[in-house]
Amino acid sequence: MIILGLDPGLGTTGWGVIRADGNRLSHVANGQIRTDPSMQLPRRLSHLFGALGEVIRTERPDSAAAEEVLGNTNAQSTLKLGQARGVVLLSAATAGLAIGEYHPSVVKKAVVGTGGADKRQIQAMVGHLLPGVKLAGPDAADALAVAITHAHHLASAHARARRTGVGA
């Protein structure tokens, strides 16, 4: 299965693609989509939508996963992040992909083992779990961590379904 992980952001959206074959994970591609802060918001969102569409057409994932938005003290920043996340979800949904959504602490715990991990720890573990990966940047590392989390959750759901004979 090919999984697209997404770390939404208006300034920079990270994306990462992995292949999951049972418990074996391998890196396929990763990158970051940047928008120009001098552009009007609708143009930035349109650029993000188009660029993600191109990633999806090129990489042809079977499913996608996105990190949930954490609120912060600046309401305007949170609102803009939420709009970018909406575009990220729309891009994946428009391509017909099933989308998992994960809280940042769930991603950190799945990849590093603790929900309070910092960016350096995430990057180190992504490098360990995907040997030879060359990260396009911290947002791409976060997106790969989201994809890894989704792969683990899908594998657990399939294993549960096999044991119980329900779902899958």
Q: For 70, how many CA atoms within 13 A lie in the half-sphere containing its CB?
A: 9
Cβ partners under 8 Å of residue 121, min gap 6: 108, 112
Q: What angle do CA 87, 81, 127 make, to 5 degrees?
A: 85
The answer to the question of whether 67 is labelled as a binding residue is yes
139 is catalytic: yes
β-strand pairing of 63-67 with 24-34: unpaired
67 is catalytic: yes
The answer to the question of whether 7 is labelled as a binding residue is yes
Residue 144 to residues 14, 21, 79, 106: CA-CA distances in angstroms? 8, 16, 24, 14
Name the active-site residue from 7, 21, 36, 54: 7
The answer to the question of whether 62 is labelled as a binding residue is no
CA separation for the pair 49, 107 (Å, rounded)? 24
Name the active-site residue from 36, 54, 67, 142: 67
54 is catalytic: no
Name the active-site residue from 101, 118, 139, 142: 139
- Detail the residues annotated as belonging to a binding site for Mg(2+): 7, 67, 139
The residues annotated with a catalytic role in the active site are: 7, 67, 139
- Detail the residues annotated as belonging to a binding site: 7, 67, 139
